[in-house]
A and B are shown apart, each in its own frame.
Chain A
Amino acid sequence: MTGYTSDEMMTVAAARTLKDGMTCFVGIGLPSAAANLARATHAPNLVLIYESGTIAAKPGRLPLSIGDGILADTADAVISVPEIFNYWLQPGRIDVGFLGAAQIDKYGNINTTVIGGDYGSPEVRLPGAGGAPEIAASCQEVIVVVRQSRRTFVEKVDFVTSVGYGDGPGARERLGLRGRGPQKIITDLGVLTPDPETCEFTVTAIYPGVSEETVRQRSGWGVRIAAAPETADPPSAAELQALRDFQATR
């Protein structure tokens, strides 16, 4: 017993990537938990922006949806949905976008649309795009939070909902995408960062107690592991307490 779960480690690792004073476009679920944890610990001036049009929301509990009343009640400004996408996201005003994924490939392309079959008659119909394609395109950088398995880490996504590095180096420039793209994939096993030459995501940090063998087994592509991957620090007592306090209020 390590005293914390792999999901808690993942959420803490995601929270640590956010720096104080950043503006952060937050999706619901794991990203929202991580962003709120960051604001409660090392980044009190983190600006949380939800696609419902709530800017600088300061919820004291985790919202179930991006439109919970507590987000509007605690925001500095509440604006319309066309405005959040056109005036705030599109011009590149937002530092970091936090996204989840049902499938992700080695170039960080994300699928949240369909799995199996074809688009018209899929085996599994997922919720779809939401705000993600434009978050992935226009935020200065993107962090993806996803549990790692052979199901989620695939050689090629069944559908490109949101673009990472497309088919490799130069693709974002050719597509006219202005943000720098995904800088980290944070999983329940470790952290991957894109290779500066090939854009392929490589494991550069592994959590305490996780073996390289497990990281390889739970990937659907032959994932590369850095020669000497860092071992991430386990959650501190303060981080765990803040996260659990949030979870308890849901």
Chain B
Amino acid sequence: MAEIVSLAEAVRLAVRDGDTVAMEGFTHLIPFAAGHEVIRQGRRDLTLVRMTPDLIYDQLIGAGCAKKLIFSWGGNPGVGSLHRFRDAVEHGWPRPLEIEEHSHAGMANRYVAGASGLPFAVLRGYAGTGLVEETATIKPITCPFTGEALMAVRALNPDVAIIHAQQADRNGNVQLWGITGVQKEAVLSSERAVVTVEEIVDSLAPRPGAIVLPTWTVSYVAHVPNGAHPSYAAGYTDRDNDYYVAWDAIARDRETFGTWLEEHVLAGAAV
């Protein structure tokens, strides 16, 4: 059974220094408020897992929370670079960042394997790319039935998954809809799961295409309206595209980023 707690309590209880943490949400439903709480609580040495690091991991990396990043596309969607991510990889600032790099198909399959309780997943991918040499969690494998050369990718099993959803009921059952990305797989592959929600309702109304996560698959639920901003929650909020555009200038400079972090994250009260 999921406990319904405050965001600060959820992060305090679920996220520890040195953990492998997957904050998922494919452009939609990115758990920004929870990411900011992880920064405020000063977590260190995290291995951050996310297909698209997006602004949320640019912020965590810039704040010095991460020792390693496991990812497949590290850009600011439709805008350009993630400058804090680049600064960490290119100059080791604010600390060196180890990377483990995949393609989207590979990352998605790694979560599927983790959620399925299997040690690896198999896909037709990566052949001929430089990633095969650089990434230890990609290995060639031969199909035992047809002899076809395929690729195996190692399962992902994070210590904790953090996602944002539209609704939970009072028992902690969670429902999310719209673009649902890999959140189901991230939650089911992880030891613990934190879900922030736009709204807590008496009962979840069935919706076409929605994912329901039963309460016993979730550790903590926290009520955090607008907790995905500047990402969005379909039916509740709109994506703040201007924020994504403005982030480029904020993140480009270490000092500007530091000021932003002070004013917009560290000074902010825990919800």
Contact = CB atoms under 8 A, between A and B. Distances in A.
Interface of A: 28-29, 51-54, 63-69, 71-73, 78, 80-82, 85-86, 89-90, 113, 119, 121-134, 137-138, 159-163, 166, 171, 175-178
Given A53-B180, A82-B108, A163-B127, A127 B75 contact: yes
B268 to A, nearest CB: 25
B130 A119 contact: yes
Given A64-B239, A160-B130, A162-B129, 17 more contacts: A29-B78, A54-B179, A65-B239, A66-B27, A81-B26, A81-B104, A86-B105, A86-B112, A127-B73, A128-B71, A130-B103, A133-B105, A133-B129, A133-B131, A134-B124, A163-B127, A163-B128
Contact of A81 (B51, B74, B178, B232): B51
Contacts of A162: 129
A93 to B, nearest CB: 13
Contact of A122 (B28, B90, B148): B90
A64 B77 contact: yes
Nearest to B86: A125
Interface string B85-116: 11001100000000001111100110110000
Interface of B: 26-28, 51-52, 71-75, 77-79, 81-82, 85-86, 89-90, 101-105, 108-109, 111-112, 123-131, 134, 148-149, 178-182, 184-185, 209, 232, 234, 238-239, 241, 244
Contacts of B127: 137, 163, 175-177
A123 B90 CA distance: 6
Contact of A134 (B28, B90, B125, B149): B125
Given A67-B28, A82-B109, A129-B72, A90 B102 contact: no
A51 B109 CA distance: 14
Contact of A53 (B26, B78, B85, B239): B26
Contacts of A128: 71-75, 101
A63 B129 CA distance: 29
A69 B181 contact: no
Nearest to A123: B90
A28 B78 contact: yes
